[in-house]
Structure 1
Amino acid sequence: MIQEIARLSIDPADAAAFEAAVAQAVPHFHSAPGCRSFALERSVDRPGHYMLVVGWDSVDAHMVDFRGSDGFQAWRALVGPFFKSAPDVDHVEPAVQGF
Structure 2
Amino acid sequence: MTSSPVLEHALLRVRPGEGEAFEAAMADALPLIRRQTGLLGVSVTRCVEAPETYLLLVTWRTLEDHETGFRGSADYEQWRALLHHFYEPFPTVTHFAVVDRGGLLGGSLPELA
Q: What is the DSSP-based 3-state SS (H/G/I as helix, E as strand, rest coil) of the residue aligned with 2:44?
A: strand
The equivalent residue for 2:6 is 2
Distance in 2, matches of 1:3 and 1:96, equals: 11
TM-score for the superposition, normalised by structure 1: 0.90
Distance in 1, matches of 2:90 and 2:17, equals: 18
Match of 2:47 among 40, 43, 46: 43
Where do 5+ consecutive residues of structure 2 fail to align? Answer: 104-113
TM-score for the superposition, normalised by structure 2: 0.80
Q: Which amino acid aligns with 1:31?
A: R
Q: Which amino acid aligns with 1:86?
A: F
Across the aligned residues of Structure 1 and Structure 2, the Cα RMSD in angstroms comes to 1.8
Q: What is the DSSP-based 3-state SS (H/G/I as helix, E as strand, rest coil) of the residue aligned with 2:17?
A: helix
Q: What is the DSSP-based 3-state SS (H/G/I as helix, E as strand, rest coil) of the residue aligned with 2:77?
A: helix
Q: Which structure 2 residues correspond to residues 48-67 of structure 1 after superposition, within 5 A? A: 48-67=52-71
Distance in 2, matches of 1:31 and 1:51, equals: 20
Q: Shift of the alpha carbon at 1:96? A: 5.4
Q: Sequence identity of aligned pairs in percent?
A: 34
Cα deviation 1:10-48 (Å, max 9, x = unaligned): 123110110110110111111111111111111111121
Q: What is the DSSP-based 3-state SS (H/G/I as helix, E as strand, rest coil) of the residue aligned with 1:54?
A: strand
Q: What is the DSSP-based 3-state SS (H/G/I as helix, E as strand, rest coil) of the residue aligned with 2:30?
A: helix
Q: Which amino acid aligns with 1:79?
A: L
Q: Which structure 2 residues correspond to residues 86-97 of structure 1 after superposition, within 5 A? A: 86-95=90-99
The equivalent residue for 2:77 is 73
Q: Which structure 2 residues correspond to residues 7-22 of structure 1 after superposition, within 5 A? A: 7-22=11-26
The equivalent residue for 1:26 is 30
